Amino acid sequence: VDETYIMVKPDGVQRGLVGEIISRFEKKGFKLTALKLFQCPKELAEEHYKDLKAKPFFPGLIDYITSGPVVCMAWEGVGVVASARKLIGSTNPLNAEPGTIRGDLAVQTGRLGPSYYPDRNVVHGSDSPENGKREIGGTAYALCLV
């Protein structure tokens, strides 16, 4: 069965959006199979975003994601990886369509300034089934969902 890793980022937790975000996945018919409030250590944040290491906003991204607790979740359902990405919307809150989580809830704070400011976009979703598996079951992640 398909499985994806969804994480409410520190801005989503601080702004009280956890319930709203969970609700959208529940209403879409997906099944919540694991959930944990978690303070992400720097090392795991760097592992999670290792593909972006060369970007100018990388240090800011690590500061952002470790700036407060995140809510780590595993969700199950047919086609859940791609469907969750659609529910979440585009990376940049300014481009995210109304009706998506980011389009409705994320405040643009990043790219108006120099590109070393990361987008604060309230939620993460795995971008492929392989990454879903890695993010839920990988050794580096084990501490965040068990």
Q: At what angle do helices 18-27 and 80-88 cross, to 10 degrees?
A: 130
Smallest gap from Cβ 50 to ligand ATP, in A, equals: 11
Q: By CB under 6 A, what part of segment 17-46 binds ligand ATP?
A: none
User: Known catalytic residues?
Assistant: 124
Q: State how far the Cα of 58 lies from the Cα of 9, in Å rounded to an integer.
A: 16
Q: By CB under 6 A, what part of segment 63-122 binds ligand ATP?
A: 91, 110-111, 115, 118-119, 121
9 is in an annotated binding site: yes
121 is in an annotated binding site: yes
Rank residues 3 and 119 by Cβ distance to ligand ATP and give the closer one.
119
Select from 17, 61, 73, 144 the one that contacts ligand ATP (CB under 6 A): 61
Rank residues 28 and 55 by Cβ distance to ligand ATP and give the closer one.
55
- Indicate whether 125 belongs to the interface with ligand ATP (CB under 6 A): yes
Position of minimal CB gap to ligand ATP: 91
Per-residue HEC secondary structure of the chain comes to CCEEEEEECHHHHHCCCHHHHHHHHHHCCCEEEEEEEECCCHHHHHHHCHHHCCCCCHHHHHHHHCCCCEEEEEEECCCHHHHHHHHHCCCCCCCCCECEHHHHHCCCCCCCCCCCCCCCCCEEECCCHHHHHHHHHCHHHHHHHC
**Which residue numbers belong to the known binding site for ATP?**
9, 57, 85, 91, 102, 121
Which spans of this chain sit near ligand ATP (rule: CB under 6 A)?
52, 57, 61, 91, 110-111, 115, 118-119, 121, 124-125, 127
